[in-house]
Chain A
Amino acid sequence: DIQMTQSPSSLSASVGDSVTITCRASQNILKFLHWYQVTPGKAPKLLVYTTSNLQTGVPPRFSGSGSGTQYTLTVNSLQPEDFATYYCQQSYSTPITFGGGTRVEVK
């Protein structure tokens, strides 16, 4: 199985800050990497698919990049609604696996 390691596990930031979350795969996943936002009480939301493609309706302050085993999600100019937990997910092979999550908290 492919292991997905996210870092940091949590971070503190203020509205207007930029943050970057990293996801490392245990093997090359050929950009089959997706990012989700989870907010308490709401269904998880797909933000970015296949490394860098923004899902319809997601604001352009979110962006993804990476290749091989290293991938990043960047959120520019954090908004109040962006304080949430973010997960990466690989779909290079089954079983599909998620990272452990990164909680973005208010500083």
Chain B
Amino acid sequence: EGQLVESGGVLVQPGRSLRLSCAASGFTFDDYAIHWVRQTPGKGLEWVAGISRNSVEIAYADSVKGRFTTYRDNVNNSLFLQMNRLGPEDTALYYCVKGRVAAVANGLDIWGHGTMVVVSS
């Protein structure tokens, strides 16, 4: 079974930028869509962004549209999330998640363990 390992989460000041990374292994990376989902402390799951297998389709949650950008490197089996103009509301555990199929809109079947982002002054 596949594995996803996130990195890059840190404490960052409001207004700053941060890039998260996700390294995939154990499955054919460029056959599947990959997503970012976040979980805020004490609250639920929020889908953040998803990118199709060939990057033709990229979608974002309304809450991050225009601030966050996701992109993938199919040669190195990696996914990235560039987060700009961070605010306290972006504080969360960020998961990298494999989609069940190549397109963005579907279920999410392999989850990483997450990387924590804290936005605070």
> A residues near B, CB below 8 A?
1, 32, 34, 36, 38, 43-46, 49-50, 55, 87, 89, 91-101
Contacts and interface: CB of A to CB of B under 8 A. Distances in A.
- Which DSSP category, helix, strand, loop or mixed, fits chain B's interface? strand
- Which DSSP category, helix, strand, loop or mixed, fits chain A's interface? loop
A52 to B, nearest CB: 12
Interface of B: 35, 37, 39, 44-47, 50, 59-62, 95, 100, 104-109, 111-114
Contact of B44 (A34, A43, A96, A98): A98
A55 B108 CA distance: 11
A42 B50 CA distance: 22
A94 B104 contact: yes
Nearest to A98: B45
B45 A34 contact: no
A38 B59 contact: no
Contacts of A92: 105
A43 B113 CA distance: 5
B44 A49 contact: no
B62 A89 contact: no
Nearest to A94: B59
A94 B50 contact: yes
A43 B111 contact: yes
B108 A46 contact: yes
Nearest to B111: A43
Contact of B107 (A38, A46, A99): A46
B97 to A, nearest CB: 8
Contact of A94 (B37, B45, B105): B105
